[in-house]
Structure 1
Amino acid sequence: MLRGFEHVGLTVRNIDRSLKFYVDLLGMSLVVRRPGLHGNEIAFVSTGNGMLELVCPATGALLAEDVAEGRAGVRHLTFSFDSVDETYRQLEEAGVEMVEAPRLAYNSDIVHKVAFCRDPDGVLIELTERSRNEPA
């Protein structure tokens, strides 16, 4: 029986920079940071209802690439906030690469408002805000 969503693993180029983004800017909690296998460094960060596993290879990593239209793969990571406008402003002020300003969501039956940015490694991040009468 499925118990829930556990985590997504991400390869990162610089674990300190990624932790600054996910913990300091997005508000996630650092669960653990430790050496991994073969000189890698690993950190788990929690959103409260799921985690990201950040793996920084000792050999380095290339910048992420978007999944091409028609190709299978992860298109973006989505996180929910109380206010997309406020989160977008804070990220923009922190120098984060912003992709799309806050707007009403196309899938309004699920979320109210969305915006997009990129994490330090180029992964597309969707910021969402549920409408006040939407269940969480």
Structure 2
Amino acid sequence: MLLGFEHIGMTSGDLDRAIAFYCDLLGFKLVLRKPQTQGELAFLDAGGGMLEIFAPGPGIQPARDVPQGEAGARHLTFAFTDIGTVIEQLATAGVDIIERPRRAHNQEMFKRVAFVRDPDGIIIELAERAEGR
């Protein structure tokens, strides 16, 4: 029996920078950070699942966007009560804003969405849930 979503694993070129982005700017909670044989690992709690971030050390290239026609994870989405406020905080912090808040295409699921890049170039969608979700 399925219990729920647990975590997604990611690689980062700088664990301190990733933790600062996800915890300090987006509000995640650091639940575990520990050294590995090669690098360091952290688990960050988003409230409904976690990010497992592995930083193997120097030389990690930024993430690349999944090209059209190729399978893969296109972005990570996190729900907020007010994405306008979050976007302004991220912009002030110098985060790469891809798309400012706009009306969502799938209004059954989300009212508004916005897109940014995390410090490793991964696309992050910020979403306000539709009424009743």
Q: Normalising by structure 1, what TM-score?
A: 0.95
Summarize deviations over 1:39-74 as a string: whole Å, max 9, x none: 210000001110000000135311100000010000
Alignment gaps of 5+ in structure 2: none
Q: How many residues align?
A: 133
AA matched with 1:72: A
CA distance, structure 2, for counterparts of residue 52 and residue 4 of structure 1 = 14
Give the 3-state SS of the residue equivalent to 1:121 in structure 2: coil
Could you tell me which runs of 5 or more consecutive residues in structure 1 were left unpaired when the two chains were aligned.
Answer: none
Over the aligned positions, Cα root-mean-square deviation in angstroms equals 0.9
More strand by share: 2
SS in 2 for 1:79: strand
| One-letter amino acid of the structure 1 residue matched with residue 116 of structure 2 | C
The residue aligned with 1:23 is 23
Residue aligning to 2:100: 101
Partner-residue secondary structure (3-state), 2:90: helix
- The residue matched to 1:72 in structure 2 has which SS? coil
Q: Give a deviation string over 1:95-135, Cα, whole Å, max 9, x none.
A: 0000001000001110100000000000000000013x222
Partner of 2:32: 32
TM-score by length of 2: 0.97
Do residues 10 (structure 1) and 14 (structure 2) align? Answer: no
Matched, 1:134 2:104: no
